[in-house]
Amino acid sequence: MPNTALVRRGLDGELDRRLPKGLVGRVWREFARPYRRKLVALIATIVIASALVVAPPYFIGRIVDALSQVRDGVVPAGVGRTVTLSAVGLIVLALVTVLFSIAQRYYSAWLGEQLIADMRQRAFRHVQRMPVAFFTRTQTGALISRLNNDVVGAQRALTGTFGTLTANTVQVAVALAYMFALEWRLTLLVLSVLPVFVMAAKYAGRRLQALTRESMQLNADMNTLMTERFNVAGATLVKLFGRYDREGERFGDSAVRVADVGVRSAVVGRLFFATMSLVGALGTAAVYLVGGQFVLSGTMSTGDVVAFAALVITAYSPLAALSNAPVDVLTALISFDRVFEILDLPHPITDAPDAVDLEHPRGDLTFDRVRFAYPSAADSSLASLESGWSEALDTTPGPVVLDDVSFSAAGGQTVALVGPSGAGKTTMTALVPRLYDVSGGAVRVDGHDVRDLTVESLRAAVGVVSQDPHLFHDTVRANLRYAAPDASDAQLEAACRAAQIHEVISALPEGYDTVVGERGYRLSGGEKQRLSIARVLLKDPAIIVLDEATAHLDSESEAAVQAALRTALAGRTSLVIAHRLSTIVGADLILVVSHGRVVQQGTHAELVRAEGLYADLYHTQFAAAEA
């Protein structure tokens, strides 16, 4: 559970964080400039609507002045006219204000939504291309929350903060100018209470800001917990260990803290509001008190005093908002910065500048003195995405998992990998489609270092069937078409027949249109693997990488998988992590992997004859499994 001290430290760290230079310029270039016409329209509507706030006090002042000329029931000429015109002015003004506010809302909504859509798309496209190492480290919940909340935060920044800032500045400027024009001494008096105001606003702003951040962080924690516990694997684990209560407490803890933060921010907000009204009342009272004297001494008209009192309120509230502007702007920019942080994550595994396409692959596969260590946390992820609080990530690379691994297979050959658990077999297979890049040496396909090929053409040439294949939550047909979008139904069926899975699919309630649930849970492990073999057959790659499903299959599906494999591997180079003796014996080359090294290689016949790990494995495991 994230402990509070750490979360707090993380939050402060976030607030203190120095924003990169040129951030504003970047926001402008990447997200605002394309829409500058609408942005200008927005600013224009904001400026006009804000400037209009001084008009009602003006008309009210005129009405009061006209009426105060009425003495003992005698109405001087023109009073009725002034009152009527001013009243009409007020109505017209209200209408115009409404029109402008609607226009303003339209432009700000349009820009805001457009910005959200832009940012989301860019972030999604970018994150997709991150290497596997990133996804193994990053907490999905934290990532999703970043893509949802910070994107919305950035949008609020652009339309909200920016809009309010402009509106308030214009409003204050116009109101103060009018006030000075009416009576400068009174204006200075009104401004003298300003420090109280600014302080209250600053305090409240800071508190609210910290509270908002805390609640965002807590929400992100809850998200992470839910996404992790509510996927099938997580939920099953919780059940099997009977941890409902503990998980409930953990979640409840965050939920209660969110509630607590909600109450605190409500109170702080109200306190601030109350202070504002108090100071406002104070200012108004002072205006009437001192302004009254001015009227008596004949230096000011009654109408002007009334107008002035009304202006006090229109000047105070934007001033309060503006005193918080630095914090608001900073918060807004932090959201942008957090989104940019994602957009700027490097893509280490991309095409080299002079990458070439792998054309008509033969499938020759060579490992040349390959060394490999899993990348360090700092190299593969972002601190703020990992754990919910900012701590520096470990920069030490993982231990060397593969060392000096060399072998060569000609197109069409089958290479079997055997060896104890944790030896590095899966890791070796991950290097072929460049899920990771080697730390030393090279993996070559048809003589090209895989890093010199375009990733797209390389991955098109390599098909992977993993031990626990993933199926999207979609129909069988859609899952198959993922490999070949243009395949006809007949082609899908042929692939499934070859993979020995057609009968199983046909027996499903809706055949090929059956939705295989999240993680394809309705199919057994063996069935899923055969479906994934069918998927690879549709892709028709020159090289196949296959993590053979381990034992625990009944003999019927064992036979089915074997038949499926024979078809799948025929005519293709294959790198198979083999558990079945039949696969191993039939391989052109067997690599015995132990502690990250290839300790023996050769054919079955050669290796059984030699003393060594293979002979041991053969006699203990494979022979026994066969019997």
Q: Which stretch binds ligand ATP (CB under 6 A): 18-26, 335-343, 385-393, 423-431?
A: 423-431
Q: Which stretch binds ligand ATP (CB under 6 A): 160-168, 272-280, 425-433, 530-538?
A: 425-433
Is residue 314 within 8 A of residue 53, CB to CB? The reply is: yes
Q: Which stretch binds ligand ATP (CB under 6 A): 171-179, 246-254, 422-430, 515-523?
A: 422-430
- Whole-Å CA distances, 175 to 91, 181, 547: 20, 10, 74
Counting contacts by CB under 6 A, is residue 397 touching ligand ATP? no
Contact pattern for Mg ion over residues 367 through 406, marking x by CB under 5 A: ----------------------------------------
SS3 474: strand
* Shortest distance, position 375 Cβ to ligand ATP, whole Å: 8
**Which residues in the 221-280 window bind ligand ATP by CB under 6 A?**
none
Counting contacts by CB under 5 A, is residue 466 touching Mg ion? no
Distance CA 40, CA 544 (A): 56
- Whole-Å CA distances, 346 to 69, 127, 145: 75, 10, 20
Q: Which stretch binds Mg ion (CB under 5 A): 309-317, 379-387, 426-434, 482-490?
A: 426-434
Counting contacts by CB under 6 A, is residue 401 touching ligand ATP? yes
Distance CA 51, CA 97 (A): 10
Counting contacts by CB under 6 A, is residue 421 touching ligand ATP? yes
Contact pattern for Mg ion over residues 495 through 514, marking x by CB under 5 A: --------------------
**Which residues in the 123-162 window bind ligand ATP by CB under 6 A?**
136
Partner from ligand ATP, Mg ion, none binding residue 427, C-beta < 5-8 Å depending on class: ligand ATP
Q: Which stretch binds Mg ion (CB under 5 A): 183-191, 423-431, 531-539, 582-590?
A: 423-431
In this structure, what token pair is assigned to residue 173? 């400027």
Compute the CA torsion angle 208, 339, 519, 546 (nearest 10 deg): -150
> Of 427, 479, 557, 574, which one interacts with ligand ATP (CB under 6 A)?
427
Q: Which stretch binds Mg ion (CB under 5 A): 142-150, 192-200, 237-245, 418-426?
A: 418-426
**Which residues in the 574-613 window bind ligand ATP by CB under 6 A?**
none
3-state helix, strand, coil in the chain (%, to 5): 65, 10, 25
Partner from ligand ATP, Mg ion, none binding residue 424, C-beta < 5-8 Å depending on class: ligand ATP
Please give the full DSSP string across 110-174, using - where no structure is assigned. HHHHHHHHHHHHHHHHHHHTS-HHHHHHS-HHHHHHIIIIIHHHHHIIIIIIHHHHHHHHHHHHH
Q: 455: which residues sit within 8 A by CB, 6+ positions away?
A: 349, 350, 351, 355, 434
**Which residues in the 516-555 window bind ligand ATP by CB under 6 A?**
none
Neighbours of 37 (CB within 10 A): 9
* Shortest distance, position 398 Cβ to ligand ATP, whole Å: 5
Nearer to Mg ion, 276 or 418 (CB): 418
Nearer to Mg ion, 425 or 535 (CB): 425
Chain-centre distance for alpha carbon 153: 12
589 has which bridge partners?
A: 415
Q: Which amino acid is at 187?
A: T
Contact pattern for ligand ATP over residues 320 through 359, marking x by CB under 6 A: ----------------------------------------
Q: Which amino acid is at 576?
A: V
Partner from Mg ion, ligand ATP, none binding residue 322, C-beta < 5-8 Å depending on class: none
Counting contacts by CB under 6 A, is residue 491 touching ligand ATP? no
* Shortest distance, position 546 Cβ to ligand ATP, whole Å: 13
Compute the CA torsion angle 33, 37, 40, 46 (nearest 10 deg): -120
Please give the full DSSP string across 373-433, using - where no structure is assigned. EPPPHHHH--HHHHSSS--PPP-SPPPEEEEEEEEEE-TT-EEEEE--TTSSHHHHHHHTT
Nearer to ligand ATP, 136 or 192 (CB): 136
> Of 11, 200, 345, 423, which one interacts with ligand ATP (CB under 6 A)?
423
Nearer to Mg ion, 140 or 426 (CB): 426
* Shortest distance, position 605 Cβ to ligand ATP, whole Å: 24
Partner from Mg ion, ligand ATP, none binding residue 448, C-beta < 5-8 Å depending on class: none
* Shortest distance, position 19 Cβ to ligand ATP, whole Å: 33
In this structure, what token pair is assigned to residue 487? 């395949």
Distance CA 414, CA 529 (A): 19
Tokens 């559970």, residue located: 1
> Of 10, 318, 361, 424, which one interacts with ligand ATP (CB under 6 A)?
424
* Shortest distance, position 533 Cβ to ligand ATP, whole Å: 19
Distance CA 307, CA 59 (A): 8
Partner from ligand ATP, Mg ion, none binding residue 423, C-beta < 5-8 Å depending on class: ligand ATP
Partner from ligand ATP, Mg ion, none binding residue 421, C-beta < 5-8 Å depending on class: ligand ATP
* Shortest distance, position 576 Cβ to ligand ATP, whole Å: 12
Nearer to ligand ATP, 297 or 421 (CB): 421
Closest by CA to 530, choosing from 556, 555, 510, 560, is: 560
SS3 535: helix
> Of 166, 426, 454, 562, which one interacts with ligand ATP (CB under 6 A)?
426
Q: Which stretch binds Mg ion (CB under 5 A): 256-264, 288-296, 421-429, 475-483?
A: 421-429
**Which residues in the 360-379 window bind ligand ATP by CB under 6 A?**
374
Distance CA 179, CA 191 (A): 11
Distance CA 162, CA 31 (A): 14
Closest by CA to 465, choosing from 559, 576, 384, 363, is: 576
The residue at minimum Cβ distance from Mg ion is: 426
> Of 13, 34, 422, 517, which one interacts with ligand ATP (CB under 6 A)?
422
Helix (H) / strand (E) containing 503: helix 502-506
SS3 471: coil
* Shortest distance, position 425 Cβ to Mg ion, whole Å: 5
Counting contacts by CB under 5 A, is residue 426 touching Mg ion? yes
In this structure, what token pair is assigned to residue 4? 């509070």
> Of 398, 412, 525, 612, which one interacts with ligand ATP (CB under 6 A)?
398
Binding site for Mg ion (CB under 5 A): 426
Binding site for ligand ATP (CB under 6 A): 136, 374, 398, 401, 421-427
